[in-house]
């Protein structure tokens, strides 16, 4: 018998060994161990060892200001979570906020002043000494060149906002700018339609029974987490108090998916739909016509140019043909709004596409008036006033909306580094700058958002590295206030904006204003808290104990103590604001034609319509923390910037397949995009994602994150929601 081992035997041995191997822990454990080994490479930063302790503060990554419980090792934040019972955050944090403490280590963190050098498109950022930057900027401010000095404040109403306005008050031509906001109901709109001057309004969405949302991400980052929680709880209630949400939007957004009903309206026809709904409410007597006629001069004045006359042009049949919504459905929505009150029309707009035009917003407000949805619980309500640290007679310049600013009027623009949550095309800002040698300065902690276009980048302290405050979120129905403390040291050569402005003031004036030079953020915040205390209104939430106390029961020092340790003051529900009357077409007498033409315009005939889509913080630093990186890059749950979703039918017509690289062309330019075929996208529509570009997280100086916004057409009313476009294989 031969003992020779044949080739066949060797193969059997190997086969048996392999079969046996996979039945042992060896390969799996090696895999597991290798993964753990990678966590322990010496160069990977690990949290320091030390005593664990907790502090409370507020998140400043967006204007909402959620309460944050910070787990620290000694004085170094290592973990963030929400605070149970917090009136704003309701115990939760978003994916951006939960890893906000890691942003200080992001590669795009600015550590020293930079100056842009070079011409045209061939520019780069070079380090510059802070003193040299200050001299350059002071010289530009003092120059005889035509144009104003402006500060664009990305989170208005903070104490820093008052400091900006006070600084601009020292200059001859200082302009304080509020950017377009999707959360805020513009003061001009409130005055124009409701005749209330100076009052701030918010949506009491959580107490409504019916919400009709026009393109607003009510269930996807629009309001505070507290509002979101209350809204979703109201949606799951049984019986008559259940909240029902209808989302009117061309895109099948996350809110559209979560709402009770999605009304896929053709882009740009929302105003027509609002008039169609108004038509049904009036034609079927579903509102108090006598009272409306009594309280409004332009409701039904027999001139042929009244609001009622306008609605007559928009019968459900006409509107149905324009919007793509069946006439019966339009009538059904109107009847439901009238039957299930309080009904509320929400119309902020989208974080990527910006707010609606003033004319469209007037039409949405009109719907609220017809439904009687102004003033009380579950409706559009006036917030109580949040005291500021300074008064108008303290030499503050007035607030100006970016929309209202003349083109080519700014010679020096300082852009605040906070995140408004909304994306904004740079071209919208650029058209406000003078044509020759404008200077743009950024106070930002990171090279992201508008900071990427600045000529001078002056690093400011990042999240949790400075003391600041957070006023009422714009969407909220109640005023609130909280402060955020410095919990960590500032990195690099970061400088407080106030200190830089003081230096500017000293350099440009022969006799610097002593009041301004002696200001401190902490002092102004204390003054603001004192003013809240003197109002004796509202409630104070103490995160350390989890208890809420009436302000009238607290002593002043105790209020300061709670506020300095993450507390939140919330106002009581405001009294109903008396309105003398309404102007359905706005106080501007020429509005009839503008509103009519806005509602009657026809989009998308012959060409495709480009619609920017994106979530809160799209295109800004908030999108660049570790968890958002996973959502975008690793999970593919969110589409990266420069991705365009189209209907397969549109794709077939244009010869495009899923994953194809294509060029989107508009009258403003062209962008290279990746195509996604998605049957939920309306034929003829290009849903263009605004957000971090692929691999932007790895680049220190991203270049084309907002390529989509750059090719959007800026309308004369400063909106960029819709753009005629073409797409073809690249």
Partner 1 sequence: MFFAGLAGTLLLGWIVFPYLIFRSVDQPLQFSHKTHTGDNIGLKCVDCHTYDKDGRFIGIPATKVCRPCHSEPVGTSNEDTRLVTDYVNTGREIPWVVYSRQPENVYFSHATHVRLAGLKCQSCHFGHAYTSNLRPARFSRISGYSLDIFGRTLFNVPSTPSRGMSMDDCASCHRAKGVNESCIGCHK
Q: Which residues bind partner 1 (CB under 8 A)?
A: 5, 9-10, 12-21, 23-26, 28-30, 32-34, 36-37, 39-40, 46-47, 51-52, 71, 73, 78-81, 98
Nearest distance, CB of residue 498 and partner 1, angstroms: 33
Residue (39 or 236) nearer to partner 1, CB: 39
Residue (101 or 721) nearer to partner 1, CB: 101
Distance from C-alpha of 699 to C-alpha of 245, rounded to nearest angstrom: 41
Residue (70 or 234) nearer to partner 1, CB: 70
Task: Please provide the distance, in angstroms rounded to a whole number, between the alpha carbons at the two ends of the chain.
Answer: 72
Which tokens go with 277?
């709904």
What DSSP state is assigned to residue 551? G
Residues 6+ apart with CB under 8 A from 389: 159, 162, 524, 525, 527, 528, 531
Contact 322, 265 (CB under 8 A): no
Nearest distance, CB of residue 203 and partner 1, angstroms: 29
- Residue 154 to residues 90, 177, 179, 325, Cα–Cα distance (Å): 24, 9, 6, 37
Nearest distance, CB of residue 44 and partner 1, angstroms: 9
Residue (225 or 342) nearer to partner 1, CB: 225
| Pairing mode of beta strands 76-81, 122-127 | unpaired
Which 3 state secondary structure label does DSSP give 172? coil
| Pairing mode of beta strands 261-263, 547-550 | unpaired
Nearest distance, CB of residue 74 and partner 1, angstroms: 13
Burial label for 462, CB within 10 Å (0-12, 13-18, 19+), is buried
Nearest distance, CB of residue 3 and partner 1, angstroms: 13
Cis upstream peptide for 342 (omega within 30°): yes
Nearest distance, CB of residue 57 and partner 1, angstroms: 16
Residue (71 or 594) nearer to partner 1, CB: 71
Residue (29 or 550) nearer to partner 1, CB: 29
Residue (39 or 605) nearer to partner 1, CB: 39
Nearest distance, CB of residue 38 and partner 1, angstroms: 9
Distance from C-alpha of 468 to C-alpha of 474, rounded to nearest angstrom: 18
Nearest distance, CB of residue 418 and partner 1, angstroms: 24
Residue (7 or 197) nearer to partner 1, CB: 7
Distance from C-alpha of 643 to C-alpha of 662, rounded to nearest angstrom: 10
Residue (73 or 235) nearer to partner 1, CB: 73
Which tokens go with 708?
């989509």
What DSSP state is assigned to residue 423? -
Distance from C-alpha of 562 to C-alpha of 56, rounded to nearest angstrom: 10
Nearest distance, CB of residue 8 and partner 1, angstroms: 8
Nearest distance, CB of residue 21 and partner 1, angstroms: 5
How big is the CA angle at 563 (ends 570 and 62), to the nearest 5 degrees? 70
Residue (27 or 729) nearer to partner 1, CB: 27
Nearest distance, CB of residue 627 and partner 1, angstroms: 9
Nearest distance, CB of residue 94 and partner 1, angstroms: 13
- Residue 353 to residues 114, 142, 152, 215, 509, Cα–Cα distance (Å): 31, 36, 19, 10, 41
- Total H helices, total E strands in the chain: 22, 28
Residue (61 or 403) nearer to partner 1, CB: 61
Contact 202, 190 (CB under 8 A): no
| Residue 10 phi, psi (nearest 5) | -60, -45
The residue to which tokens 């309004």 are assigned: 201
| Residue 442 phi, psi (nearest 5) | -120, 130
Which 3 state secondary structure label does DSSP give 104? helix
Contact 227, 183 (CB under 8 A): no
Residue (47 or 118) nearer to partner 1, CB: 47
Residue (41 or 120) nearer to partner 1, CB: 41
| Pairing mode of beta strands 539-542, 568-570 | antiparallel
Distance from C-alpha of 251 to C-alpha of 688, rounded to nearest angstrom: 11
647-650 long-range Cβ contacts below 8 angstroms, 24+ apart: 647/677, 647/678, 647/679, 647/681, 647/682, 647/683, 647/684, 647/685, 648/677, 648/678, 648/679, 649/683, 650/608, 650/681, 650/683, 650/684, 650/685, 650/686, 650/727
Sign of CA dihedral 95, 99, 101, 103: negative
Residue (179 or 225) nearer to partner 1, CB: 225
Distance from C-alpha of 426 to C-alpha of 448, rounded to nearest angstrom: 12
Nearest distance, CB of residue 36 and partner 1, angstroms: 4
Distance from C-alpha of 96 to C-alpha of 421, rounded to nearest angstrom: 11
Residue (26 or 679) nearer to partner 1, CB: 26
Nearest distance, CB of residue 78 and partner 1, angstroms: 4
Residue (47 or 655) nearer to partner 1, CB: 47
Nearest distance, CB of residue 629 and partner 1, angstroms: 15
Picking from 627, 606, 604, 605, the residue whose alpha carbon sits closest to that of residue 617 is 627
Nearest distance, CB of residue 590 and partner 1, angstroms: 55
Nearest distance, CB of residue 459 and partner 1, angstroms: 26
Residue (18 or 510) nearer to partner 1, CB: 18
Nearest distance, CB of residue 611 and partner 1, angstroms: 34
Q: What is the DSSP string of 679-711?
A: TTSPTTEEEEE-SPPTTGGG-SS---TTHHHHT
Residue (30 or 700) nearer to partner 1, CB: 30
């Amino acid at each position: 018998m031969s003992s020779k081992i044949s080739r066949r035997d060797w193969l059997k041995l190997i086969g048996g060994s392999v079969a046996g191997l996979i039945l042992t822990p060896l390969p799996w454990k090696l895999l597991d161990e290798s993964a753990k080994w990678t966590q322990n490479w010496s160069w990977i930063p690990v949290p320091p060892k030390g005593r664990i302790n907790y502090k409370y503060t507020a998140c400043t990554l967006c204007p909402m200001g959620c309460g944050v419980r910070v787990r620290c090792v000694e004085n170094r934040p290592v973990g963030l979570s929400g605070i149970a019972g917090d009136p704003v955050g309701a115990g939760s944090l978003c994916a951006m906020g939960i890893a906000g403490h890691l942003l200080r280590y992001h590669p795009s963190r600015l550590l020293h002043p930079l100056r842009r050098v070079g011409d045209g498109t061939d520019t780069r950022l070079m380090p510059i000494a802070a003193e040299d930057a200050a001299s350059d900027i002071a010289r530009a401010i003092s120059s005889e060149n035509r144009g104003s000095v402006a500060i664009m404040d990305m989170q208005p109403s903070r104490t820093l906002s008052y400091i900006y306005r006070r600084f601009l008050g020292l200059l001859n031509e200082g302009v304080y700018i509020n950017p377009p906001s999707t959360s805020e109901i513009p003061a001009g709109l409130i005055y124009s339609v409701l005749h209330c001057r100076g009052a701030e309004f918010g949506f009491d969405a959580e107490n409504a029974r019916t919400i009709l949302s026009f393109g607003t991400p009510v269930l996807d980052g629009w309001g505070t987490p507290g509002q979101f929680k209350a809204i979703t709880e109201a949606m799951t209630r049984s019986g008559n108090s259940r909240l029902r949400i209808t989302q009117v939007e061309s895109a099948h957004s996350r809110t559209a998916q979560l709402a009770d009903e999605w009304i896929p309206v053709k882009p740009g026809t929302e105003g027509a739909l609002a008039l169609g709904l108004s038509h049904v409410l009036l034609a079927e007597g579903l509102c108090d016509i006598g009272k409306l006629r009594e309280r409004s001069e332009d409701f039904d004045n027999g001139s042929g140019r009244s609001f009622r006359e306008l609605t007559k042009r928009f019968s459900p049949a006409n509107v149905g043909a324009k919007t793509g919504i069946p006439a019966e459905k339009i009538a059904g929505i109107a009847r439901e709004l009238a039957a299930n009150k309080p009904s509320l029309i929400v119309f902020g707009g989208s974080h990527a596409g910006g707010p609606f035009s003033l004319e469209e917003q007037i039409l949405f407000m009109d719907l609220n008036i017809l439904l009687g949805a102004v003033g009380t619980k579950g409706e559009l309500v006036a917030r109580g006033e949040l005291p500021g640290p300074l008064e108008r007679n303290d030499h503050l310049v007035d607030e100006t909306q970016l929309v209202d600013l003349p083109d080519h009027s700014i010679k020096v623009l300082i852009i605040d580094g906070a995140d408004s949550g909304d994306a904004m095309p740079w071209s919208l800002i650029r058209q406000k700058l003078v044509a020759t040698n404008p200077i743009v300065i950024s106070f930002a902690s990171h090279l992201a958002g508008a900071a990427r276009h600045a000529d001078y980048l002056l690093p400011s302290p990042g999240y949790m590295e400075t003391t600041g405050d957070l006023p009422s979120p714009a969407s909220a129905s109640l005023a609130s206030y909280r402060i955020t403390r410095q919990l960590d040291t500032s990195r690099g050569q970061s400088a407080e904006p106030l200190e830089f402005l003081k230096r500017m003031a000293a350099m440009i004036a022969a006799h610097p204003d002593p009041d301004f030079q002696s200001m401190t953020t902490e002092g102004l915040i204390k003054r603001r808290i004192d003013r809240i205390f003197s109002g004796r209104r509202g409630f104070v939430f103490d995160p350390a104990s989890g208890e809420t106390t009436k302000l009238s029961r607290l002593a002043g020092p105790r209020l300061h103590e709670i506020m300095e340790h993450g507390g939140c003051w919330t106002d009581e529900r405001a009294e109903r604001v008396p309105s003398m009357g309404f102007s359905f077409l706005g106080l501007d007498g020429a509005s009839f034609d503008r509103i009519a033409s806005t509602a009657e315009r026809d989009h998308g005939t012959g060409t495709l319509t480009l619609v920017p889509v994106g979530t809160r913080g799209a295109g800004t630093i908030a999108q660049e923390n570790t968890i958002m990186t996973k959502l975008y890059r690793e999970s593919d749950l969110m589409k990266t910037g420069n991705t365009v979703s189209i209907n397969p039918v549109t794709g077939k017509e244009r010869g495009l397949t899923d994953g194809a690289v294509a060029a989107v062309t508009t009258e403003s330019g062209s962008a290279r995009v990746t195509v996604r075929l998605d049957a939920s996208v309306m034929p003829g529509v290009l849903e263009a994602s605004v957000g971090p570009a692929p691999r932007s997280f790895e680049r220190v100086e991203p270049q084309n994150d907002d390529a989509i916004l750059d090719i959007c057409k800026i309308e004369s009313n400063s909106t960029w929601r819709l753009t005629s476009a073409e797409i073809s294989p690249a």
